[in-house]
Amino acid sequence: MTQNQIQHKIRDNWNKVLDSIFLIMRVYISVTVFAAFLLPSCVAGFTERRCAMHDPNEEEKEKALRVMELHKNDDETRTQKFTVPTYWHTINKGKDGKLLDATIAKSIDILNKAFTDFTFDVKDITTTDNGSYWGIKPGSSGERSMKNKLRQGGCDALNIYSTDLVSGLLGWATFPDWCAGSQKDDGVVILYSSVPGGTAAPYNLGDTLTHEVGHWLGLYHTFEGGCNGDGDQVDDTPAVKTSNSGCPKKIDSCPNDDGKDLVENFMDYTDDSCMDSFTKGQETRMTAFWKEYRSDGSPPPPNPPTPNPPTPNPPTTSKNPTQMMNVQITRLSSKLF
C-alpha cells in the first residue's frame, strides 16, 4: 500500500469517527429537548415555588373586604373547631403517581397541625389510572373532566387532587366565593411528588398542600400587591414586595411598612422546611370566609361540658351536743351516788 493510500484510508476512518460523534450529539440534543417538553417538572427541577392561583382583581378584593367587615365582631374567643369533610383523589398513570395510604395520612396530619380552627376529616380516598387527568394545568379539559368525574360533597368539602402538572407548577386552588356558582370546579390540585417524601425537593415535605388549602379558605399570598395598597388584607402580616424563595433571614422588602417579611408563613413561596405558621389575622380571615361561603350553616359542635366535681361527703360527728351533755351528767351522778 502506497503512502497516499494509507493517508486516504486514515482520512476515511477519521471522517467516520467524526460522523459518529456528530450523530451521538444530535441524538442527545433531540432527546433532551423532547424530554424538556414532556417532563418539565423533572428536567427543569424546582428552583422556585410556582402556585397557579388566580390573581384577584379589584372587585374581588373589595368583596373580600366586605366579608371581613361583616364578620369583624364574631366571637374570637371560641374554642370549637370546624370539621372539614375531606376527599383525596390520587391520579396515576401506570406506576407513576401512586401514593401509599401512609403518605396520604401523613399529608392530612400535616394539615391538621397547621390549621388552628379546622380539622380535616378524610371521608374517602379514590385512585384513578387515567392519562387524561395527568399532566394538567388550570382550566384544561383534563382538569375539568377529572373534577366532574371525581368531586364529592358540598362547598364545605375539601377535594384534593394529586396528579402530574405541567410547566413546573406545584399546585392551585379555588377561592371560597367561587364554589356556589361552580361547585364542580371547587377544590385543591397538587403535584403528586410534593407530598411528604416525594421527589419535588425542596417542596416535598407536604406544605404545598397547606399553602393551597390556605387559598381554598380565602387567603392571598403574603406578597399580594407588593408594598402598596391593602396587600393580602391581613393586618398582622407585614407587606412583602415580592415572593421569597429558599429561607432568607431578616428580610424587610417593604421598609416603610412595620415588620420584616414573614418568610416562615405558609402563604409565601419559601421552601417547605422554612414554612411553619399562619398568623392570628390569617386564622380570623379563614374562619370568616368559612362562615360566609363554605359552612352549611350549622354551628360547630360545642365542646363537651366539664363534669361537675363529686360532692364531698359531709363530715361525720360521733355525737351531737345534747348527747354529750347527757353522758357527762350520767358520769357525774355515778360518782355522787
Residues with a known catalytic role? 212
**188-191 vs 171-173, strand pairing mode:** antiparallel
Which helix (DSSP H) or strand (DSSP E) does residue 257 occupy? none
Is the C-alpha dihedral spanning 15, 19, 25, 28 positive or negative? negative
Question: 199: which residues sit within 8 A by CB, 6+ positions away?
Answer: 193
Calculate ∠ Cα 328-333-337, nearest 5°: 160
The answer to whether the beta carbons of residues 124 and 59 sit under 8 Å apart is no
Q: Give the C-alpha separation, 175 to 268, whole Å.
A: 17
In terms of phi and psi (left: phi > 0; alpha: psi -120 to 50; beta: otherwise), the region of 208 is alpha
Cell of 76: 374570637
Strand ranges (DSSP E) for 68-183?
A: 82-92, 118-129, 158-163, 171-173
Half-sphere exposure of 77 (CA within 13 A, CB side): 0
Cell of 295: 359552612
